[in-house]
Amino acid sequence: MVIVAVPRKSLGRASEVFGLGSHTGFASGIKQLKDLGRNRVIKLFLLVENRLLRDALAGIVRKQPDFAAVGADRYTPAIEKQIIDSRCDVLVADHATAMTFSADFVPDTLTLAPEMKVVLLGMEEDAEIFLQAVRAGVSGYLLGDASAEETLVAVRRVASGEAVCPPKLCGHLFQFVAREARKGSVVLNQRVCAKLGLTPRQQQLVTFLARGLTNKEIAASLNLSEYTVKNHVHRIMRQVNADSRYAAVQTVCESALGASQPA
């Protein structure tokens, strides 16, 4: 099963999202993937808030020889059973719907359907949202400007077991993995944090930032308001002279690693 989020702006260009465009850059890739999937029909469940868009997508999907629409509905907390019962390979959701998913929706659905693949389409180029989606278990993340060819290729590739995301966000993912590997140094080397002028609370926040958590997730973990967490993060950035939360973590990590090296 693949979860695909379709951008709200696709209301006016539904055929562009799921139809074939005129650009030939991905023509060979589309043909190759279609040939590979010629004997396999990818089953889609459409999870779209707007009924007109939902019906339009259902009609377009049914015209694709290797796609089959096996269900269509709007998101509700009770939709999980309907999706599982449909035995779909692909769950198509619009961007607005994806943003209203409960925190456990994707992980719980993946638990019930281990072979399910999750793709978010029409998303923002936001590292925090992207990393949150990856932690939830998504296999693909496409931005709102993805072409028709890129959309079709991405869905088929994820269905075949690949992972898809924009190159820039892929870089954030690599940085996140590197921070995860180094976060032990951040937690243990409190003297370095103190030299950087970080308070105990800020040191605590750095460990959460190193794990890639969003402000909202940090606030929930520490029982703080999201506004308070945001202010703490900005102070940390100023104190270590970093222009982003990720650069701040990198600075702390590198300082901690440098201090641990033998003289």
Task: Give pLDDT, residue 14.
Answer: 43
Tokens 């009609």, located at residue = 59
DSSP secondary structure code for residue 176 in this structure: H
Whether 152 and 35 map to the same domain: the answer is: yes
Whether 149 and 192 map to the same domain: the answer is: no
Last residue of a domain, one of 102, 133, 165: 165
Task: Give pLDDT, residue 181.
Answer: 62
- Among 125, 209, 134, which residue's Cα sits nearest to residue 167? 125
Alpha helices in the chain (DSSP H): 14-18, 27-36, 51-63, 79-86, 95-98, 105-112, 127-136, 148-159, 167-188, 190-195, 200-210, 215-222, 226-239, 245-260
Phi and psi, residue 11, nearest 5°: -55, -35
Whether 99 and 202 map to the same domain: the answer is: no
Q: What is the CATH number of the domain that holds 35?
A: 3.40.50.2300
- Among 55, 246, 70, 80, which residue's Cα sits nearest to residue 168? 246
Whether 135 and 158 map to the same domain: the answer is: yes
Whether 222 and 148 map to the same domain: the answer is: no
Whether 54 and 132 map to the same domain: the answer is: yes
Q: How far is CA 39 from CA 42, 51, 61, 65, 66, in A?
A: 10, 31, 17, 10, 8
Query: What's the rounded Cα separation, in Å, for the pair 144 and 160?
Result: 22
pLDDT in tens, the chain (263 residues): 555 555 544 444 444 444 334 444 445 555 555 554 456 889 888 888 889 978 987 887 788 899 888 889 999 888 999 999 998 887 877 788 888 888 888 888 888 988 888 888 888 898 888 988 888 888 888 888 887 678 778 888 888 889 999 988 988 888 877 766 655 544 546 667 777 888 888 888 888 888 778 888 888 888 889 999 999 999 999 988 888 888 888 888 777 655 555 44
Whether 80 and 189 map to the same domain: the answer is: no
Residue 16 one-letter amino acid: E
Task: Give pLDDT, residue 16.
Answer: 43
Whether 178 and 156 map to the same domain: the answer is: no
Task: Give pLDDT, residue 210.
Answer: 80
Whether 153 and 195 map to the same domain: the answer is: no
Whether 49 and 132 map to the same domain: the answer is: yes
Query: What's the rounded Cα separation, in Å, for the pair 33 and 154?
Result: 10
Whether 152 and 205 map to the same domain: the answer is: no
Last residue of a domain, one of 135, 165, 195: 165
Q: Is 200 exposed, middle or buried (0-12, 13-18, 19+ CB in 10 A)?
A: exposed
- Neighbouring C-beta atoms of residue 98, cutoff 10 Å: 25
Whether 160 and 218 map to the same domain: the answer is: no
Q: Report the number of distinct structural domains present in the chain.
A: 2
Q: What is the CATH number of the domain that holds 230?
A: 1.10.10.10
Task: Give pLDDT, residue 12.
Answer: 43
DSSP secondary structure code for residue 64 in this structure: S
Domain range for 185 is 171-260
Last residue of a domain, one of 116, 147, 165: 165
